[in-house]
């Protein structure tokens, strides 16, 4: 059974990239018993359906406490990109979860002479190619600060409005993944353009591979307990946001993980970074 939707060719600010997607991940890499009702933090319910049943896996799933973690979704979106609003509504449907929209920073309107109006702690030393890269970076930084000021959730998921779901039951998978992790992590990439996956942590959870690029901040989860640490590490703007995260992880300033095969990818639409 083909249990995920493909969107394998993507257009990015660094060109077109083909993604090879491996076997589908569901919970514990098995299919889930039909019609399991999952308790969610917003009192909604997720209807899980599969044409195949794995009884032993069902018993494991049935015992899992799905209300153990609280997770909130945010998406970075520029209002002028009206066509992408439809993608956001589709994402909400695919995730079966409400997504809070955060107004993106328009890089073309950023006055670099007064960049500290965004935050007095910013140090700007970025030899950028496109001003959209600056807007993207500031959007993520400002959203992280917003999350820090408003949320009491355990975890936050940050999306960009050009991402798409490529697996079924993504929210359920995320909850199950979080239950497997016992280390104090900062960030989990739910997808990346380069299929970066290093040393296996457990199941489909990997440490970031230092020798492979990690492009794309279209879908990642942050540990809100450590969000101040993440914010403080981003004030020195010297690269694009995805490259910055990779550098911080490689230098052991942040603890990063990746999910592979990935849960989310870029939609096949033109990048707005350029």
* 105 against 3, higher pLDDT: 105
For residue 271, tell me if it sits in a domain: no
* 5 against 164, higher pLDDT: 164
For residue 1, tell me if it sits in a domain: no
Is the backbone peptide bond immediately before 261 cis, with ω within 30 degrees of 0?
A: yes
Percent share of the chain, pLDDT over 70: 74
- The answer to whether 206 and 258 have CB atoms below 8 angstroms apart is yes
What does the alpha-carbon distance between residue 263 and residue 239 come to, in Å, rounded to a whole number?
Answer: 26
Please give the pLDDT value at position 67.
72
What range defines the domain where residue 47 resides?
Answer: 9-266
Can you read off the two tokens belonging to residue 195? 């299929």
Please give the pLDDT value at position 266.
86
For residue 223, tell me if it sits in a domain: yes
For residue 274, tell me if it sits in a domain: no
| pLDDT tens digits, 16-57 | 443 333 333 333 443 333 222 333 333 233 333 332 223 444
Report angle CA 192, 88, 24 to the nearest 5 degrees: 45
User: Does residue 151 have a pLDDT over 80?
Assistant: no
For residue 255, tell me if it sits in a domain: yes
Can you read off the two tokens belonging to residue 91? 């994402």
For residue 90, tell me if it sits in a domain: yes
Can you read off the two tokens belonging to residue 44? 């909604």
Question: Hey, how many other C-beta atoms are within 10 angstroms of the C-beta on 135?
Answer: 21
For residue 214, tell me if it sits in a domain: yes
Strands (E), 55-139: 71-77, 99-103, 123-124
Nearest of 268, 28, 188 to residue 196 by alpha carbon: 188
How many structural domains comprise the chain? Answer: 1
CATH number at residue 49: 3.90.550
Can you read off the two tokens belonging to residue 160? 């960009």
> Who contacts 127 (Cβ-Cβ below 8 Å, separation ≥6)?
none
Nearest of 229, 223, 226, 227 to residue 178 by alpha carbon: 223
For residue 3, tell me if it sits in a domain: no
Please give the pLDDT value at position 69.
87
């Amino acid at each position: 059974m083909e249990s995920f939707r493909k969107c394998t060719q993507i257009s990015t600010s660094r060109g077109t990239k083909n993604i090879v997607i491996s076997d589908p991940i569901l919970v514990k890499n098995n299919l889930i018993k039909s019609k399991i009702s999952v308790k969610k933090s917003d009192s909604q319910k997720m209807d899980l359906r599969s044409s195949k049943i794995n009884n032993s896996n069902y018993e494991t799933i049935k015992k899992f406490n799905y209300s153990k973690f609280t997770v909130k979704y945010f998406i970075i979106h520029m209002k002028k990109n009206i066509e992408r609003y439809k993608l956001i509504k589709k994402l909400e449907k695919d995730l079966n979860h409400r997504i809070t929209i955060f107004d993106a920073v328009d890089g073309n309107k950023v006055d670099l002479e007064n960049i500290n109006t965004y935050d007095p702690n910013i140090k700007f030393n970025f030899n950028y190619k496109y001003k959209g890269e600056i807007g993207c970076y500031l959007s993520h930084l400002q959203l992280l600060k917003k999350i820090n000021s408003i949320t009491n959730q355990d975890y936050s998921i940050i999306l960009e409005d050009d991402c798409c779901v490529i697996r079924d039951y993504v929210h359920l998978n995320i909850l199950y993944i979080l239950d497997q992790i016992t280390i104090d992590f900062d960030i989990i990439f739910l997808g990346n353009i380069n299929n970066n996956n290093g040393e296996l942590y457990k199941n489909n959870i990997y440490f970031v591979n230092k020798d492979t690029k990690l492009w794309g901040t279209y879908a990642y989860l942050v540990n809100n307990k450590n969000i101040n640490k993440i914010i403080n590490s981003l004030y020195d703007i010297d690269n694009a946001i995805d490259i910055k995260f990779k550098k911080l992880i490689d230098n052991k300033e942040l603890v990063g993980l990746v999910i592979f095969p990935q849960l989310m990818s870029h939609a096949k639409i033109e990048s707005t970074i350029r």
